[in-house]
Amino acid sequence: MSGAITTTAPSPWRALLRPGTLIPAIVLLVAIAWAVAPGLFTGISPTASVGPSLQAPSAEHWFGTDSTGRDVFARVIHGASQSISGALIAVLVGLVVGTTIGVAAGATGGLVEEALMRVVDVLLAIPSLLLSLSVVILLGFGTTNAAIAVGITSIAVFARLARSQVVGVRVSEYVEAAYGSGGTALGVLWRHILPNSLTPVIALAALQLGSAILQISTLGFLGYGAPPPTPEWGLLIAEGRNYVATAWWLTVLPGFVVVLVVLATNRLSQAIRGGEAA
Amino acid sequence: MSEPLLTIDDLRVSYRTGRGDVDAVRGVSLEVRAGEVTALVGESGSGKSTVAQSTIGLLASNGRIAGGSIRLNERREGVTDLVGLSERRWRGLRGRCIALIPQDPGNSLNPVATIGASVGEALRIHGWRDRAKVRARVLELLEQVEIDDPATRAKQYPHELSGGMRQRVLIAAALALEPELIIADEPTSALDVTVQRTVLDLLDRLREQSGTGLLLITHDLAVAADRADALVVMRGGTVQEAGPAASVLAAPAADYTRALLADAPSLTRVVEREPVVVAAGERPLVEVTGLRQEFRRGAGREPLVAVDDVSFAVARGTTHAIVGESGSGKTTTGRAIAAFGHATAGAIRVGDVDVTGLRSARDRRAFRRSTQLVYQNPYGSLDPRQSIERVLEEPLRNFGIGSKADRAGRVAQVLEQVALAPEIAQRSPRELSGGQRQRVAIARALILQPELVVFDEAVSALDVTVQAQILRLLARLQAELGLTYVFISHDLAVVRQIADTVSVLQRGRQVEHGAVAQVFDAPQHDYTKQLLAAIPGASLREDNAS
């Protein structure tokens, strides 16, 4: 009997082993490993001058050195903790606040829903970069504050998606049947509505992780993020842009790492959603 | 004898899936003669629609004809083998020689094209350039399928038409180029019985006039019995029995055909039920008086009256059926009894509870212990993420009944009551068939030991043999547990078997009610008479009676 069941339900591990999922997963794992234990990947300090300035990439310094002779590869690795933890905070803020608003709006309906969703509409109406800049100015500079600012810009997206999912599931027959078997509103919400509506929200969170890295880098590039000499990815690119003509590796190689990580989260997010459809 | 219009010989079709090839059709042979009807009868998954799709060259992209031949005796080009035809040749054949009437009139018409454009499309595809001629032909066709005021209808959009009208439009579109062969894939399954009858009559008449051959795909043996000249019974991709309709029905050779005949509620008695004796003067369990339900339709519009002055009583231990066509208010009435609606006026009493007076969520919740609702669609009423055990346990947990071990015992017991194996408890709804899911839904309703169960079209979505099993199950449970049922259905044949009393609803009004025997044998109202006359299988019942 159990054999028949395993063949009918595709195992999530099989899906994970497809190259389309495996490669992004490896990229993300490496980036997270950089963030957690940068010392394992490089022995070079990110803030110490280790050689002549503006050296091209070589076997010794993979990404070359910058204007003060610091190893760029080491700075990228150490920067991962700044950028990725920042992105995680940003996504967490958006996910928790946004989903709570969305689920509350979708589950209650009526006036509460109207009020909450109009607030969300206001959030959506403000351009996200402008909004995050304003929040950073209110909270003060720094990686964490920049992350919170980026998170606030994604609240609206999470809230709208969560609400639309909850509204869709709320009218399904099994939810009514659950009320019919004596379920209380909270019990039904917890046992039926949330598990059946949150998969796309999780997929969106994975997607947002990528764009949060990008947005935090943007803030760093504009000088609203971590102050120098912190090796934050956006800041790295900003510092290198004065030398684009003579030392392209200062902007291109860190930029390439950012692109890879963002693409990886994008692919993974699609895999999560694809798994739902199958 | 001349070559038949369509000859299918030893057809084999397989589908490529993630788990290897699946043989959907294994060696099917049949014939359709000009001017005659061949009915292909089978349950869901029997491969009957695959045969139809192969015949018109519209198999799903993962389907492949693995062997056999399909020959069409075409009037212009003689006998053509349809297997392996190029897409170009197919385009010339479809519409002109073979036409398809699809199953679901609800979404088979392009919602942004007018009726006239949809009907005229086949003409334009096959090279009619003259607009005035196309228009004239479209109006002629709409008239032919008995649509009143064709000129106005041709300018309307599908959403402005009823289901029956849309099906006629689809028939008109199929007839546009006077094809030799029409494939009708469950043409009336989505329609009310009275509409089904007029649509089938229409097809019959058109076929007699034009000499078109008809391949009728249906799950309903009674429909096939009324309409077909030849009958092919399919199951699991193979032909169980084939032959002239009269002889197959009179003396079925295959076990499966016999089972289908024995399980068709419109042909035979499927359920053995002891009539319930109600003691005189006993207070009925359910009393509905003057129920009225309105739905607001926005500012400036009259509210929609879904139920208007419906009254009946249901004695304890009996079954009361509410019958009517779609839009008659039968589901609204049933939901009001199960406290899922807010009645506008009138009173409903179940036991000692005044249902219309239940205002707070807490009171409604308490009421659910005594009254349960079972839904039509077993695919939608079970949470796809829960195991069956959790589905069944949930009502007990909601009311805090029993310890963990007690609850597991109750789940096992109720699974046994609905004749499901105990291993089912560990499965997820996705792994069960429609019939098994509906048993689970019934088990969930029973686990609270209610007094009253409301069934909203609870057997309508099931295959006929499964439907018969569920009906027998319901009768047995009623006898064992002394349950009272309110049974909502559009199928009068089923109602006759399972109900003691019946209310007939038409557009929200109760036109007739009383004991089933009395209402069905001596109907007073015209609408009831129409409904009864529309039950398919009349030809066979007369044969049996004589």
- pLDDT digits over B155-212, tens only? 889 888 877 788 889 988 988 888 889 999 888 877 778 888 888 888 888 888 888 8
Amino acid A15: pLDDT: 61
Return the SS3 of B16. strand
Q: Worst-scoring range by mean pLDDT, B227-241, B260-274, B372-386, B388-402? A: B260-274
Residues 379-438 of B with CB under 8 A from A: 380-386, 394-395, 398-399, 423, 427-428, 430-431
To the nearest whole angstrom, how far is the Cα of A171 from the nearest Cα of chain B?
11
Query: B144 — contact with chain A (CB < 8 Å)?
Result: no
Mean pLDDT estimate for chain B:
87
Mean pLDDT over residues B320-341, rounded? 88
Cβ–Cβ below 8 Å for B381 and A177:
yes
> May I ask the CATH architecture of the domain B286-370+451-545?
3-Layer(aba) Sandwich (3.40)
User: Is B17 part of the contact surface with chain A (CB cutoff 8 Å)?
Assistant: no
User: Using CA atoms, how far apart are residues B72 and B212, in angstroms rounded to an integer?
Assistant: 13
Residue of B nearest to A278 (CA): B18
pLDDT at position A159 is 94
Over the stretch B86-121, which tens digit does the pLDDT of each residue have?
Answer: 888 888 888 888 999 888 777 888 889 999 999 998
Supply the pLDDT for residue A2.
36
Residue A157's pLDDT band, with cuts at 50, 70 and 90, is very high
Structure confidence at residue A102 (pLDDT):
93
Select the residue of B19, B372, B441 nearest A7 (Cβ to Cβ): B19
Note the pLDDT of residue B312: 92
Q: Chain B: nearest CA to A18, how far in angstroms?
A: 15
Specify the pLDDT at position B546.
46
Assess: ipTM above 0.85.
no
Nearest alpha-carbon partner for B371 in B340, B392, B329, B393: B340
Considering chain A, what is the average pLDDT of its residues? 83
Nearest Cβ partner of B368 from A9, A10, A181? A181
pLDDT on residue A250: 85
Q: Per-residue pLDDT averaged across B229-237, rounded?
A: 90
Arithmetic mean of pLDDT, B270-299: 82
CB B50 within 8 A of CB B58: no
Q: Does B326 touch chain A (CB under 8 A)?
A: no
Type of residue numbered B338: A
The runs of H, that is alpha helices, within chain A are 2-8, 12-16, 19-36, 72-108, 110-125, 128-139, 143-170, 173-180, 185-188, 194-197, 199-222, 233-240, 249-277
* 8-state DSSP, A116: H
What tokens were used for B455? 């069934």
**Nearest-neighbour CA in chain A from B60: distance (Å):** 18
pLDDT tens digit sequence for A232-259:
887 888 888 888 888 888 888 888 888 8
pLDDT value of residue B86: 85
Asked if A187's CB is within 8 angstroms of B381's CB, the reply is no
Residue of A nearest to B401 (CA): A182
DSSP label at residue B135: H
Mean pLDDT of A133-151: 89
**Gap from B23 CA to chain A (nearest CA, Å):** 17
CA atoms within 13 A on the CB side of B276: 23
Residue pLDDT, tens place only, A175-188: 989 988 888 888 89
Domain residue ranges in chain A: 17-33+69-277
Same fold, B1-97+184-264 and B286-370+451-545: yes
Query: What confidence score (pLDDT) does residue A116 get?
Result: 92
CA dihedral angle for residue A194, residue A197, residue A200, residue A203, rounded to 10 degrees: 10
- Residue A11 makes CB contacts below 8 A (sequence gap 6+) with none
Helix axis angle for B388-398 and B434-446, nearest 10°, is 20
What's the pLDDT at A16? 64
For B247-278, give the DSSP string: HHHHS--SHHHHHHHHH-TTTS-----PPPPP
User: In the prediction, which pLDDT does B167 show?
Assistant: 86
B212 phi and psi angles, rounded to 5 deg: -75, 145
Q: Which residue of B has its CA nearest to A181?
A: B395
Output the pTM of the full model: 0.79
Domain B1-97+184-264: homologous superfamily in CATH? P-loop containing nucleotide triphosphate hydrolases (3.40.50.300)
The confidence band for A118, taking pLDDT boundaries of 50, 70 and 90, is very high
Residue A1 predicted with pLDDT over 70: no
What is the rounded average pLDDT of the residues B254-280? 81
Residues of A in CB contact (< 8 Å) with B are: 1, 5, 7-10, 172-174, 176-185, 187, 191-192, 195-196
The average pLDDT across A102-129 equals 90
The span from the CA of B47 to the CA of B2, in Å, is: 28
Number of CB pairs, chain A paired with chain B, less than 8 A apart: 66
Which tens digits make up the pLDDT trace of A27-83?
888 988 888 888 888 777 777 777 787 787 887 888 888 888 888 888 888 888 888
Q: What's the rounded Cα separation, in Å, for the pair B14 and B66?
A: 6
Nearest to B381 among A173, A182, A184 (CB): A173
User: What is the pLDDT, as a whole number, of residue A238?
Assistant: 80
Residue B543 pLDDT greater than 70, yes or no: no
pLDDT, position B251: 87
The nearest CA of chain B is from the CA of A199 a distance in Å of 12
What is d(CA B132, CA B389) in angstroms, rounded to the nearest whole number?
Answer: 65
Q: What is the pLDDT of residue A152?
A: 92
Q: Which CATH class is domain A17-33+69-277?
A: mainly alpha
Domain boundaries, chain B: 1-97+184-264, 108-178, 286-370+451-545, 387-449
B233: DSSP letter: E
The confidence score (pLDDT) of residue A14 equals 63
Q: Are B99 and B182 in contact (CB under 8 A)?
A: yes
